[in-house]
Amino acid sequence: MNLVFDANALIAYLSNEEGADVTEGLLMDRGNVCFVHALNLCEVYYEARRAGGEDRAQAALAELDRSAGRT
């Protein structure tokens, strides 16, 4: 299934907020093809950087890469 994620779902996943388990299940399902628009990814990066600095923002992007099976 093709899925498009918005920033809120990804932020919830990375922050282990309500709904994180649903997003995780969708990301980890190798039958899904996951997409995110660049602007939404920028919002995820911005929120992580605001909350924890540059290292946290880079770690958030790396986590999404790992979850999508890219690394």
According to the model, what pLDDT value does residue 24 have?
94
**Res 70 pLDDT > 60:** no
- Model pTM? 0.88
**Pairing mode, strands 33-36 and 2-5:** parallel
Neighbours of 7 (CB within 10 A): 18
Give me the count of residues in the chain: 71
Yes or no: say if 63 and 14 are a contact pair by the CB < 8 Å rule.
yes
Average pLDDT on 25-42 reads: 94
**Res 7 pLDDT > 60:** yes
Q: At what angle do helices 7-15 and 38-67 cross, to 10 degrees?
A: 40
pLDDT category of residue 41 using cuts at 50, 70 and 90 = very high
